[in-house]
Amino acid sequence: DAGVTQSPTHLIKTRGQQVTLRCSPKSGHDTVSWYQQALGQGPQFIFQYYEEEERQRGNFPDRFSGHQFPNYSSELNVNALLLGDSALYLCASSPGTGRYEQYFGPGTRLTVT
Amino acid sequence: QKEVEQNSGPLSVPEGAIASLNCTYSDRGSQSFFWYRQYSGKSPELIMFIYSNGDKEDGRFTAQLNKASQYVSLLIRDSQPSDSATYLCAASRGAQKLVFGQGTRLTINP
């Protein structure tokens, strides 16, 4: 049973560029959440998708947007990259149906230069 | 006040001893609590979750929840060097977002 997968593993972008990160949830999971983790900090919630809709959003600007596809996979898009967007981006999936545990993928390390 | 607070450590424990990690939360609407282990350069790994007051045991790990005191703890018995990692406490309102503490760095000394 494959766990949560994310691509790419690492990414280097220049300020002002746009980036798309991808996530496939665990088999049987229908909810996907995205988090940003800066060095030495706990993950910060960006948004959560369920049934292809954004169900909840954290305190991130509109430059951060997302999408969930019918197969439950998800994308995170960040426009107009800033140096401060450099972080580990984590995708987590959860099974829904009364179970609240979230399982993380390996993450995408984004470096903005 | 942060929503979830942890002592950032580092916490140093001798091999074979009990490691005790603590966490407090401010949102009384929180219903679900999680402990994640994160090795350096890796993503968080879920090791325990607890939804009801009291203790929950899984192998060498015990999670404790006291909703009245808004306090969650994780005990690791017979600590091993491989337990050296950062431990993240998280709280949520059901299926909603996880709110994390800043993590406690644990070192097990052989």
| Closest-CA residue of chain B to A31 | B95
From the list B44, B49, B101, which residue is nearest A104 (CB)?
Answer: B44
| Closest-CA residue of chain A to B92 | A100
- Average pLDDT of B24-44? 96
Structure tokens that stand for B14 in this block? 């001798």
Chain A residues in contact with B40 by the CB 8 A cut-off are none
Containing B76, the helix (H) or strand (E) segment is: strand B71-76
Could you report how far apart the first and last alpha carbons of chain A are, in Å?
37
Rounded CA gap, A52 and B67, in Å?
Answer: 34
Chain A residues in contact with B31 by the CB 8 A cut-off are 100
- Average pLDDT of B20-37? 96
Can you spell out the DSSP letters for A19-71?
A: EEEEEEPPTT--EEEEEEE-TTS--EEEEEEETTEEEEE-S--TTEEEEE-TT
Distance of CA A93 to the CA centre of its chain: 10
From the list B34, B97, B103, which residue is nearest A45 (CB)?
Answer: B97
pLDDT at A83: 98
From the list A33, A43, A44, which residue is nearest B44 (CB)?
Answer: A43
Predicted confidence (pLDDT) per residue in B38-91, tens digit: 999 999 999 999 999 999 999 999 999 999 999 999 999 999 999 999 999 999
Structure tokens that stand for A9 in this block? 């593993």
With an 8 Å Cβ cutoff, are A90 and B34 in contact?
A: no
